[in-house]
Amino acid sequence: MPVVHVTAPVPGSAAETAAALAAVAHAVAAALGLADADVYCALVPVTAASLGAEAVRPWPVAIVHGAARPPERTAEALDAVGAILARVWDCPREATWAQWVTRER
């Protein structure tokens, strides 16, 4: 089961936040051939960020924790997640970060 942590400002109401997380979970599930309910997604709210010493608007970041998968599937998932982050948090795609992390054994 992939676990996704989205670190970003709260995007709006509880319903808007739930919809954003559902979209991220769906994107990961679709890329991997899973059911939406097979992907856990949580928002880690961020209120401030800096680039060096300069205060900046927080970038939306998604870290997907999961088993190793075919590289083309993880790339598809991460591309879709990045596009969702850019849309929901109204920022350029280049201002998002999505990464797949596998557990070391």
Contact 41, 31 (CB under 8 A): no
How high is the mean pLDDT in each 10-residue block of the chain (105 residues)? 95 93 97 96 95 93 94 95 95 94 79
Q: 3-101 domain in CATH 3.40.50.970?
A: no
φ, ψ of residue 58 in degrees (nearest 5): -60, 135
Domain boundaries, the chain: 3-101
Contact 74, 38 (CB under 8 A): no
Classified as helix, coil or strand, 94 is helix
Q: What is the pLDDT of residues 10-40, one digit of tens each?
A: 998 999 999 999 999 999 999 999 999 999 9
Q: How far apart are CA 66 and CA 64, in angstroms?
A: 6
pLDDT of residue 72: 95
